[in-house]
């Protein structure tokens, strides 16, 4: 037995000691961690728990809810609503912000979360996670929808849990990104991965390649160049992974580098991406930046986007700094037309001329 290990509570007391409202923030993160332990226990039971499978209803996203989506959502709400720490909550699984029962005091924070990320993986026993973001409630009393629509750089804490072979909690309060592993015998999260740092260079990418025909040209260019490997312009071979749980992809990137993309695609004009800004892209972007990585839509830093709806979707490209900068450059080149030398005005005139000749 190792004595003197840094537990989550000890870590939070140390990190938040001199921050205004720090003890409330620490207490809220301990409540989130309690929910995470419960969700970890539910997911670990697998088929023995009776929690697998779908419900009949659709959520606000138009997606079929899994039993575990709903249970994880309830767990997070029950764990965090009672202590006078939050003023309200927003969840992927609820259309409107959650209004606290009147008996509970309104606190200074807003909690925004995806209770179960990668829930298509629950029934096949592949890693899933939970993602959360903490904002300051800008005024006293119950929050309105507008109070949640804050840019990601205003988050005071963000994190995720990954329910994999080990359960881990990875979080930031704006002083680096740190990883904790759940010691199940003792029931504590132990600091095992302090000051995570994403390697700036990497040769691994993650993207759902079945959508390739819908991607924009800069993303197609990047992936095609990676696939060309040693013989191509990148002059090295790349590896690819796709787990379909963003937390699991992000966790791998925090451990060994790489790029994750769920880019803009042309499948549905009303959806400029797959992932949701407030409770997926923003918290993950803060964790990535705090670990020295980069996170962008391809054209804008995600943490600077001004949200206009609770469940708004955004393109997401994040990970190792040099690779993400390259993909941003490809977007800029594409938007300026400088990646298409054969499409110069002269070329267009000649094409037109040719077209006229053939009429």
In the complex, the smallest distance separating the C-beta of residue 157 from ligand AHG, rounded to whole angstroms, is 20
* Contact present, 262 and 316 (Cβ < 8 Å): yes
Among candidate residues 249, 162, 245, the one with its CA nearest the CA of residue 205: 249
How does strand 204-206 pair with strand 275-276? unpaired
Nearest-CB residue to Mn ion? 117
Pairwise CA distance, residues 221 & 115, whole Å: 34
Q: Which does 245 bind (CB under 5 to 8 A by kind): ligand AHG, Mn ion, none?
A: ligand AHG
The length of the chain is 359
In the complex, the smallest distance separating the C-beta of residue 168 from ligand AHG, rounded to whole angstroms, is 16
Name 183's bridge partners: 188
The residue among 104 and 214 lying less far from ligand AHG, judged by its C-beta, is 214
Q: In the range 81-120, which residues lie near ligand AHG by CB under 6 A? A: 92, 114, 117-120
The residue from 117, 249, 323, 328 that contacts Mn ion (CB under 5 A) is: 117
The residue from 24, 81, 92, 147 that contacts Mn ion (CB under 5 A) is: 92
How does strand 109-117 pair with strand 86-91? parallel
In sequence order, the 6+-apart residues with CB closer than 8 A to the CB of 265 are: 211, 214, 215, 216, 273
In the complex, the smallest distance separating the C-beta of residue 33 from Mn ion, rounded to whole angstroms, is 19
In the complex, the smallest distance separating the C-beta of residue 278 from ligand AHG, rounded to whole angstroms, is 12
Q: What are phi and psi of 112, to 5 degrees?
A: -125, 130
> Does residue 312 belong to the site contacting ligand AHG (CB under 6 A)?
no
Among candidate residues 167, 183, 208, 179, the one with its CA nearest the CA of residue 287: 179
Binding-site size, Mn ion (CB under 5 A): 4
Residue 336: both structure tokens together = 């300026």
The residue among 121 and 172 lying less far from ligand AHG, judged by its C-beta, is 121
Pairwise CA distance, residues 86 & 208, whole Å: 36
In the complex, the smallest distance separating the C-beta of residue 313 from ligand AHG, rounded to whole angstroms, is 11
Q: What are phi and psi of 142, to 5 degrees?
A: -75, 140
What's the burial of 217, exposed, middle or buried (CB within 10 Å: 0-12/13-18/19+)?
Answer: middle
Q: What is the CA radius of gyration of the chain?
A: 22
In the complex, the smallest distance separating the C-beta of residue 61 from Mn ion, rounded to whole angstroms, is 9
> Does residue 265 belong to the site contacting Mn ion (CB under 5 A)?
no
In the complex, the smallest distance separating the C-beta of residue 150 from ligand AHG, rounded to whole angstroms, is 21
Pairwise CA distance, residues 311 & 357, whole Å: 52
> Does residue 114 belong to the site contacting Mn ion (CB under 5 A)?
yes
Q: Which does 261 bind (CB under 5 to 8 A by kind): ligand AHG, Mn ion, none?
A: none
- Applying CB under 6 A, the span of 214-222, 243-251, 301-309, 333-341 interacting with ligand AHG comes to 243-251
Q: Which does 274 bind (CB under 5 to 8 A by kind): ligand AHG, Mn ion, none?
A: ligand AHG
- Per-residue binding string, ligand AHG, 249-268, x by CB under 6 A, is -------------x------
Pairwise CA distance, residues 138 & 107, whole Å: 11
Residue 141: both structure tokens together = 């009393």
Q: Which does 208 bind (CB under 5 to 8 A by kind): Mn ion, ligand AHG, none?
A: ligand AHG
Which residues sit at the interface with Mn ion, rule CB under 5 A? 92, 114, 116-117
Which residues sit at the interface with ligand AHG, rule CB under 6 A? 92, 114, 117-120, 208, 244-246, 262, 274
């Amino acid at each position: 037995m190792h004595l003197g290990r840094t537990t989550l509570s000890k870590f939070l007391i140390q990190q938040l000691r001199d921050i205004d409202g720090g003890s409330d923030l620490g207490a809220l993160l301990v409540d989130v961690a309690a929910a995470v332990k419960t969700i970890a226990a539910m997911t670990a039971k697998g088929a023995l728990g009776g929690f697998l499978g779908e419900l009949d209803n659709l959520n606000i996203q138009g997606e079929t809810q899994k039993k575990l989506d709903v249970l994880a959502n309830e767990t997070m709400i029950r764990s965090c609503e009672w202590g006078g720490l939050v003023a309200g909550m927003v969840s992927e699984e609820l259309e409107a912000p959650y209004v606290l029962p009147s008996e509970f005091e309104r606190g200074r924070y807003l909690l925004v979360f995806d209770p179960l990320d990668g829930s298509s993986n629950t029934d096949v026993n592949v890693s899933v996670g939970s993602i959360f973001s903490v904002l300051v409630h800008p005024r006293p009393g119950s929050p309105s929808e507008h109070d949640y629509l804050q840019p990601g750089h205003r988050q005071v804490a963000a994190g995720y849990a990954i329910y994999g072979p080990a359960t881990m909690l990875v979080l930031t309060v704006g002083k680096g990104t740190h990883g904790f592993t759940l010691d199940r015998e003792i029931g504590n999260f132990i600091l095992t991965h302090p000051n995570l740092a994403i390697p700036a260079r990497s040769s691994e990418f993650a993207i759902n390649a079945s959508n390739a025909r819908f991607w924009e040209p800069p993303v197609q260019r990047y992936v095609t160049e990676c696939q060309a490997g040693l013989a191509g312009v990148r002059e090295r071979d790349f590896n690819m992974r796709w787990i379909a749980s963003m937390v699991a992809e992000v966790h791998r990137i925090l451990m060994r580098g790489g790029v994750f993309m769920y880019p803009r695609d042309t499948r549905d004009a009303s959806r400029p991406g797959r992932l949701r800004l407030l409770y997926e892209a923003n918290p993950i972007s803060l964790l990535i930046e705090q670990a020295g990585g980069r996170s962008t839509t391809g054209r804008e830093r995600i943490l600077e986007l001004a949200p206009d709806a609770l469940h708004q979707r955004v393109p997401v490209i994040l990970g190792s700094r040099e690779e993400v900068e390259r993909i941003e450059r490809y977007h800029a080149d594409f938007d300026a037309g400088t990646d298409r030398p054969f499409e110069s005005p002269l070329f267009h005139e000649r094409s037109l001329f040719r077209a006229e000749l053939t009429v």
